[in-house]
Every structure is written in C-alpha cells, then in structure tokens.
Amino acid sequence: METKEGSSGLRSGLTNYGDDEFSSFLRKAFIKGAGYTDDALNRRIIGIVDTRSGFNPCHANVPALVEATSRGVMLSGALPVPFPTISLHESFAHPTSMFLRNLMSMDAEEMIRAQPMDAVILIGGCDKTVPALLMGAISADIPAIQLVTGPMVTGNHRGTRVGACTDCRRYWGMHRAGEIDLEEIVSVGNELVPSAGTCGVMGTASTMACITEALGIAPLGSATAPANVSQRLRIAEITGKIATGSLPRPSEILTRKAFENAIILLQALGGSTNAVVHLLAMAGRVKGVNLTLDDFDRLGRTTPLLVDLKPSGQNYMEDLFKAGGVPVILRQLNLHFDILTVTGRTLGEELASWPTFDQTIVRPLGTYSSLIVLRGNLADSCILKQSAMDPRLKSHEGMACVFADLDDLIKRIDDPDLDVDEDSVLVLQNIGPVGNPGMPEAGYIPIPKKLAQRGVKDMLRISDGRMSGTAGGAVILHVTPEAAVGGVLAIVQDGDRIKLDVETRRLDLLVSSQEIATRLTAWRSGVRGYRGLYRRSVLQADKGADFDFLTGEAGLE
C-alpha cells in the first residue's frame, strides 16, 4: 500500500515520476489550470468525496454539503478539493445496490489513495454508501471523517404522517389486500418522499448513520439532522473544520471496542439487519478486529431497545433529531466511552458537553435482543429482527411452502390454489450472495394475496437473502450456508415442518438427519441447465476457462 509522503511531510506533496521536483512542478502546473494561487496550493489538502447524482435523491443535498464542508475547511486555513465517486440509490442500482457496494468501496479506496489529499471527508447517506465509503477509507487508511446527507422529512397523506419506506410497504400491502384503491396509492406516492435525504425511518441508511457516531468516525450529534434543515449545513461546516485538525486514521478509530459500541447501538436502535453484513465487512478490513455473529447476539442480550422509531416503533428520524439525536441514546448504553473519535477526544469527553432533552422517543421499550442470531440444522447461522415481528410467531412450528427462486416466488405467491395458510412457513431459496449476486432484499416475502385479503399481517419467512431495513415481520434472513452452495435450505421441500424458537435461538427442519443427508447427496445446484453446469465447473482464465471435467487426454473410446 502507498503510504509514502512527499518532502513536505504531507500526502499532498506526494510525487510519483521518479524525479520528485519535476513531478511537483508538473502537478502544480496542471492544478493551476483550475485557477488556484500558490498560497492555496501550499495548504493542507482535504479531499471531499462528492456522491451527487441525478439518479440519487437521497443525495440531492450533496452540492450544498460540499459547499458547507469546503467553507469549514477554508475557515481553518486548508484547501478543499471535491472529487466524485460512483453514486448508489436503492431504487436505481440494478440488479441491487448491494451488488455494487463492493465496487463503490473499491472506487472510494483507489481514488483516495491515488489523489494527493492529506485527509478525506466522506459525504453520502443512501443505504450502501456509508458502508462502501467507510470500507474504502479503511483500506486506504488516510485520516477520514464521515458526513451523512441526513434523513428526509415526513409527508402528509390525508392527515396521516407518512415516510419512506416503512409506509411505502404498509400502503402497498393495503393496496394488495384491496383496502385502498389505485387513486389512493398514486396519491400517497406523492408524499412518501417529500424531500431530499435518506429514508426517514430506522432503515439501513439511518442505522448506518447513527452507527457512525458510535464508532467515533463522525462528529457526535451529526446523524439525525434532516437533509433540508440549516443544522445539516452547520454540521457540514463543522465537519470541514474537524477534518483540518489532527484527524486520526480509520485504523486508529475503528478498533474492536468501536465495533462493539456500534453493535450495542444497533441493538438499542432496533436497527437494520443489513447493518450486520456491513459491520462484518468493515471489520473484516481492519487488522485485529475479528468480529463475528456471536458478538451481535451476545451484546444484544444485555442491550435494551431504546428508540421508538419505525419499523420497530412508531416515530421518524426527524423526531429523534428533535429529541436530541444519537448522543441521548449513547448516554444510556453500556459502551466503551474511552474510544477515540474524529476530534481527537474520547466519546465520553464528547458526550459530556451534549445537552439533555425531555424524552418521548428515547426510552426503554421493555425488549432486549432486537437482532438475534439463530442456529440449527437448517442454518449454521441466520438472523432475525425479533423486535419487529408478531410475538405469536416467536415459538412456532409450521409447514414449509417453498419457492425455488425469485421468479418462482413472483409466479406463484398469489396463486389462489397455493397450499398455504397463516401458520405455514414461507421459504425462499437461491437469493444468497452466490445464488443471486447482490443478495437482493427479497427476504421480505409478501404475504400471499389470499391470506392478506383475510387480514393476515405476518407469517414466518425464511431465506438466504436480505431485507430492507425499513421492513419488519417474522423474517429470517442471511441463512448460511446458502442454498446455491448446497446448504440445507436447498433441500427443504413443500410440506416439511420447520420449527423456530426465539428463546433458545433455534431454527430446525424437522426432518431426520438421515433424510437430510440423502437429499443433500441428490441435490444439484439451484441454477439448472448449462448455466448451472458452467458455474460449478469452469476453470480460471489462466487455465483457459475450460471445464474441469473436459481437460486431459481423451481420444476415441
């Protein structure tokens, strides 16, 4: 990794043509094309990741945030230099934004490393952006600070407050059940996203935003101000100022203790299941952190659910902002308060100056273990957000109704002849990382129409995919090993009985181990035909991309 610094002692003095002085001369000559004076160019250079895109309404305020952070940088005597990366919006990143998260992290990492900046401000907010930017910054490991775009505000539909995207799902569910007509669903569509910013509930974007404060990689109190209020711009200006100080490197901030803080906050928020995947990916890039799913379950058991926000509760991010934001939650938790933050002060020192607020939003809601890890003969591991499910299903046994993949689900879920009732367990195979690259958020399997019309709101659902953080229900996700690599999920059949027990963290297929072994022997990859054969058998390019069973001498038989 390139860590060399130029003769100035700063990365902005970095050269790479062999002849240091010529390289410096050439670089300066080119950047003067942008109209800078020598005075400007002799300052510390603060890169600003600019993730604006016409396809990304969650980042529609990024131009204003770049301006405000630049102001903060300049007020402190350094030079801000914005640069673009890929921009990912949940609804405009086919096939899924998760498919592109790693690509965005590579873009961020390489552009941070390639360009001569001394520190970097990461601006972004939509679901995969914060993890992608942090993964990139962790790997580049120059001093970095996160600024989120902030949540959207709520809208008003016929007198009811609404916000993306828990209410998107709720209204769509009502439309599917025939409770609201086409005219109403179109009309609510105008109010669900009434401003720029990220989804206004405790979905993935909000969860990751809040987590940046618990990690110490963002300014305390910076996660919850809505995208379109003036406080968001003031936070941006302050972020610019902090970036010009003695900002630590990600590897100094993101220690095991910081990740444990993040997990504890995630549990207290009743946050998005996606955050589990993102935190594991981020931690996987930091030397010596070694985070596992067991850490999530263990820390959850002693962490109360503290935040009354949708989808686990009733309110929206703008309410949490007015209630004092993330610091108010952090104060009530059993955290490592001695972790280092972006200001160079500890989390405890930062929290000491945060005011107190009268509360209706942040309060103990009587539940622990929002997110739990299940194990059993059906999965080595899988996760469930039990704070957002129908309690009647916490100890449940039912008959499997199996869908082989997403196409099969779409084709049959609303079939009036589908053999299913409210006690059935809906199983969806082949939407894991290999089975459907990008691991789509299709784990939130819709309630079959005939049951929805009878008023069924929740059913036990199991898949190897993900679910949007804005969704809720008895939805078991991330089943590992996934069906496409021959996990037990692959051989579940219609009519098999499946048992969930939240208390003991068990998920079992009530089929004998002998029968499971027999079925696994007969199992072939969920991807059939030539494509399945190809995926299982193709060799790497350096072996000619032939099939493994075709190489070697053959001849006539």
> C-beta of 154: minimal distance to Mg ion in Å?
17
Among 58, 108, 277, 467, the residue binding ligand FES under the rule CB under 6 A is: 58
> C-beta of 199: minimal distance to ligand FES in Å?
3
Which one, 275 or 420, has the nearer CB to ligand FES?
A: 275
Which one, 58 or 279, has the nearer CB to ligand FES?
A: 58
The partner in contact with residue 468, picked from ligand FES, Mg ion, none with C-beta cut-offs of 5 to 8 angstroms by kind, is Mg ion
d(CA 253, CA 482): 33
d(CA 276, CA 282): 10
Residue 90 binds ligand FES (CB under 6 A): yes
CA distances from 554 to 64, 201, 506, 533, 557 (A): 67, 62, 50, 20, 8
Beta bridge partners of 476: 384, 462
Per residue in 177-214, is it b (16+ CB within 10 Å) or e — as a string? Answer: beebeeeeeeebeebbbbbbbbbbbbbbbbbbbbbbbb
Helices and strands: H and E segment counts in the chain: 20, 14
DSSP H helical ranges for 244-346: 250-253, 256-269, 274-283, 293-301, 317-322, 326-331
Which one, 90 or 213, has the nearer CB to Mg ion?
A: 90
DSSP string, 416-474: TT----TT-EEEE-S-STTTSTT--S--SPPPPHHHHTTT----EEEESS---TT--SS
Rounded to the nearest 5°, which phi and psi values hold at 122?
Answer: -100, 110
The partner in contact with residue 389, picked from ligand FES, Mg ion, none with C-beta cut-offs of 5 to 8 angstroms by kind, is none
Binding mask 70-109 for Mg ion (x = CB under 5 A): --------------------x-------------------
How far is Cα of residue 203 from the mean position of the Cα atoms in its chain? 9
Structure tokens at 507: 């998920």
Element (H, E) at 64: helix 62-75
Among 205, 351, 389, 447, the residue binding ligand FES under the rule CB under 6 A is: 205
Which one, 289 or 384, has the nearer CB to Mg ion?
A: 384
Among 27, 44, 52, 89, the residue binding ligand FES under the rule CB under 6 A is: 89
Which one, 58 or 439, has the nearer CB to ligand FES?
A: 58
Residue closest to 125 by CA, chosen among 73, 68, 57, 193 = 57
Among 468, 478, 490, 502, the residue binding Mg ion under the rule CB under 5 A is: 468
Element (H, E) at 38: helix 38-41
Which one, 128 or 241, has the nearer CB to Mg ion?
A: 128
Ramachandran quadrant class, 468 (left: phi over 0; alpha: psi -120 to 50; beta: rest) = beta
Which one, 139 or 206, has the nearer CB to ligand FES?
A: 206
Find out whether the peptide bond into 219 is cis, omega within 30 degrees of 0.
Answer: no
Residue 341 binds Mg ion (CB under 5 A): no
Residue 167 binds Mg ion (CB under 5 A): no
Which one, 70 or 87, has the nearer CB to ligand FES?
A: 87
Residue 105 binds ligand FES (CB under 6 A): no
Residues 155-174 that bind ligand FES (CB under 6 A): 164-165
Residue 371 binds ligand FES (CB under 6 A): no
Among 139, 146, 149, 204, the residue binding Mg ion under the rule CB under 5 A is: 204
> C-beta of 206: minimal distance to ligand FES in Å?
8
> C-beta of 393: minimal distance to ligand FES in Å?
27
Name the one range near ligand FES by CB under 6 A: 196-204, 303-311, 328-336, 519-527: 196-204
Which one, 203 or 465, has the nearer CB to ligand FES?
A: 203
> C-beta of 469: minimal distance to ligand FES in Å?
8
Name the one range near Mg ion by CB under 5 A: 180-188, 201-209, 248-256, 387-395: 201-209
Among 50, 109, 118, 127, the residue binding Mg ion under the rule CB under 5 A is: 127
Count CB atoms within 10 A of the CB of residue 273: 26
Which one, 206 or 303, has the nearer CB to Mg ion?
A: 206
Residue 318 binds ligand FES (CB under 6 A): no
Name the one range near ligand FES by CB under 6 A: 198-206, 318-326, 476-484, 504-512: 198-206
Residue closest to 309 by CA, chosen among 196, 476, 167, 477 = 167
Residue closest to 259 by CA, chosen among 237, 289, 233 = 289
The partner in contact with residue 89, picked from Mg ion, ligand FES, none with C-beta cut-offs of 5 to 8 angstroms by kind, is ligand FES
Query: Position 416: which residue type?
Result: P
Structure tokens at 341: 């933050």
> C-beta of 314: minimal distance to Mg ion in Å?
19
Residue closest to 441 by CA, chosen among 408, 407, 466, 404 = 466
d(CA 268, CA 278): 17
Which one, 89 or 257, has the nearer CB to ligand FES?
A: 89
Among 195, 198, 272, 273, the residue binding ligand FES under the rule CB under 6 A is: 198
Q: What residues make contact with ligand FES under the rule CB under 6 A?
A: 58, 89-90, 126-127, 164-165, 198-199, 203, 205
